[in-house]
């Protein structure tokens, strides 16, 4: 990471861009002042992240109120929302800093946990929000209401409510559909439901989704699997789409289907010479 950061700073200097380093990052370099995230939000023009999807999600949530665009450089593994690798910085970043980029506006969600009519948890989610079982590992029982109407009562390991961006994350791993990030929708995906007829469902982004916890040995509400709070019987987690959006900047020519093909290996086809498993 140190070498990548040095490369990034060198590119910024070449392009005449003044860097502002986040305070924990600045401690690894001499001669740079550190800035808090709030100071960066108030003074910066763009946020450049070197990290994985998790790092990008956390920063996107924090920077949402400042409406700063984000350039994400992949230092993780899969990286659905981090566009290019550290090795490709010199190729892609300079043109983007000169204004040659594709802007991609993404939806976010808001999660509020109510207990006895009081708000005890209030967070923003970029990928997903929902409920999950605790350390006990047993199922949770809940009822889902959509716009005040009861939709389903389920027993499962949890329930994911994902944005279009988050449809390629936990929701996809749990069997949910992939949504194009331009779609104004949320997807509900039960995790290991007890009844197999409980299937994922796509809802309009204007929907108000309430998850009422009926019973559980342990349960927790979460946002992006980074913010958690323990739930109690009778709690209700309300999830809605936020009017605010966050903006990703991609290299010129970026296409979402290219990302899916690359990250999910959709371009890998068997050949006549491929070794096939032998069955007896």
Catalogue the active-site residues.
53
Alpha carbon distance 31, 9 (integer Å): 12
258 contact partners, CB below 8 Å, separation of at least 6: none
Q: d(Cα 125, Cα 93) in Å, to the nearest integer?
A: 27
Q: Which residues make Cβ contacts (< 8 Å) with residue 15, sequence separation at least 6? A: 94, 97, 98
Query: Which helix or strand (DSSP H or E) is residue 49 part of?
Result: strand 47-51
CA dihedral over 90, 96, 101, 104, signed as positive or negative: positive
Residue with tokens 């380093």: 21
Provide the β-strand partners of residue 98.
none
Which tokens in the block code for residue 91?
A: 């190729």
Name the token pair of 214.
């009926």
Structure tokens at 171: 């929701």
> Encoding tokens for residue 206?
């204007």
């Amino acid at each position: 990471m140190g070498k990548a950061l040095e490369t990034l700073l060198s590119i910024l200097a070449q392009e005449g861009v003044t860097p502002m380093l986040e305070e924990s990052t600045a401690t690894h370099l001499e001669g740079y002042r550190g800035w808090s995230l709030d100071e960066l939000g108030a003074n910066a023009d763009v946020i450049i992240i070197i990290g994985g999807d998790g790092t990008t999600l956390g920063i996107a949530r924090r920077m949402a109120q400042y409406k700063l665009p984000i350039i994400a450089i992949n230092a993780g593994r899969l990286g659905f929302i981090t566009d290019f690798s550290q090795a490709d910085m010199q190729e892609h970043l300079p043109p983007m800093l000169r204004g040659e980029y594709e802007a991609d506006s993404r939806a976010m969600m808001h999660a509020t946990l109510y207990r006895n009519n009081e708000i005890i948890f209030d967070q923003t989610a970029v990928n997903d929000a929902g409920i999950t079982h605790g350390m006990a590992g047993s199922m949770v029982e809940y009822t889902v209401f959509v716009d005040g109407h009861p939709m389903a009562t389920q027993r499962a390991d949890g329930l994911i409510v994902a944005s279009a961006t988050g449809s390629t994350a936990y929701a996809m791993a749990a069997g949910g559909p992939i949504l194009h990030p331009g779609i104004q929708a949320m997807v509900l995906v039960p995790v290991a439901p007890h009844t197999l007829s409980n299937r994922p469902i796509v809802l309009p982004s204007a929907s108000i989704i309430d998850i009422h916890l009926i019973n559980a040995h342990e349960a927790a509400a979460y946002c992006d699997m980074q913010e958690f709070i323990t739930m109690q019987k009778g709690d209700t987690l309300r999830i809605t789409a936020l009017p605010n959006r966050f903006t990703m900047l991609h290299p010129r020519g970026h296409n979402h289907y290219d990302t899916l093909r690359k990250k999910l290996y959709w371009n890998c086809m068997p050949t006549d010479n491929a070794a096939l498993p032998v069955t007896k």
